[in-house]
Amino acid sequence: MAKIQELNAVVAQKVELTPRLMILRVVADGWQLPHFTPGQYVVLGLPPSAPRCEMSELELQPPPSDKLIRRAYSISSSSLSSEYMDFYISLVSNGALTPRIFALDVGDRLWLSPHPVGMFTLADVPPEKNIVLVATGTGLAPYMSMLSTDLDCGSPRQLAVLHGAFHSWDLGYRAELETLQHLCSNLTYTPTIDRPEDEPVAWHGHTGWVQQLWQAGVVAKAWGFQPAPDNTDVFLCGVQGMIEDMVGILVAENFKEQSHGQVGEIHIERY
Ligand SMILES: Cc1cc2nc3c(=O)[nH]c(=O)nc-3n(C[C@H](O)[C@H](O)[C@H](O)COP(=O)(O)OP(=O)(O)OC[C@H]3O[C@@H](n4cnc5c(N)ncnc54)[C@H](O)[C@@H]3O)c2cc1C
């Protein structure tokens, strides 16, 4: 059985944006949260005995009873804060871990791996290059950490965030990104929703997928020049379909995927 001592962290805040989408704030209990590079992730864990939330369905496969259920989550908070880590999490109804995370309350314990990992960071982007951050759903999480840590307002570097979600109410961090856009002339934020027919009040923003925003040239229009491999790096985070489509589109425009030992302008994190 997973032991309670293994649960080394505590829920400090739970912001439910919708019944299926939340920002979870976690603090370490009796140890110091490690430093991390924005864009990295940690592993969260709960025992199989932890209750599942009401919205959940039966899990596909009951997990073994003697091990923590562990999954990777990008840190969405700034690395400038060492007091807590935030996570932007969506519910997978028949999943093993997220129904248990959604059942947590403030004060409940969970496991947080003390070693953040991942190469999906701004570290390899040359300082003179512009950056496009493309996300679906909770794929926005690593970008919120990057922007709240490293955004240099008014610098010559242009940044664009393209965020796709089903509905307007699924666009987490929208207010924060709109505020940053008002304050920072070099940041553009473009959300899009792909189920406008569900909106209770007509939606006047973009509709469709993030890849369609790119193809429609929204970044080029905002920046006044065409993003190209010699002036821009592109980050992709979220569902597989978006990543495959975007890689195809970008490769046709001569962008190359970054991989171990190979320099490239496309950076990918697959959820
Ligand atoms: C590096 C990395 C960072 C990640 N960061 C985040 C993050 O910041 N926020 C976040 O919400 N998730 C993130 N994930 C995904 C996360 O690790 C889990 O896979 C996800 O939360 C589902 O876990 P689960 O145990 O509830 O579902 P599982 O039991 O693992 O999956 C159950 C079923 O649902 C499918 N499934 C898994 N994920 C999804 C999904 N998102 N939508 C629909 N179906 C799915 C699986 O293929 C499987 O068939 C990240 C993954 C990686 C690899």
Residue 30 dihedral angles phi and psi, to the nearest 5°: 85, 10
Atom of ligand 1 nearest to the CA of 120: 1
CA-nearest residue, atom 18 of ligand 1: 71
Q: Ligand 1 centroid to 271 CA: how many Å?
A: 6
CA-nearest residue, atom 4 of ligand 1: 73
Which tokens in the block code for residue 239? 């569902």
**pTM, entire model:** 0.96
Q: What is the pLDDT of residue 26?
A: 98
CA-nearest residue, atom 34 of ligand 1: 95
What type of residue sits at position 92? V
Helix or strand (DSSP H, E) at 251 = helix 240-252
Distances (CA, A) of 94 to 46, 53, 58, 160, 170: 16, 11, 6, 34, 20
Q: Mean pLDDT, 10 residues at a time, over the chain (271 residues)?
A: 73 97 98 98 97 91 87 98 97 97 98 97 96 98 98 96 98 98 97 97 97 98 97 98 98 94 92 91
Ligand 1 pocket mutation pick from 22, 46, 71, 100 by most atoms within 8 angstroms of CB: 71
Q: What is the pLDDT of residue 3?
A: 55
Pocket of ligand 1 (CB under 6 A): 41, 60, 71-74, 87-90, 92, 94-98, 138, 141, 269, 271
In the β-sheet with 130-136, what is the strand arrangement from edge to edge? 206-207, 187-193, 159-165, 130-136, 232-238, 266-270
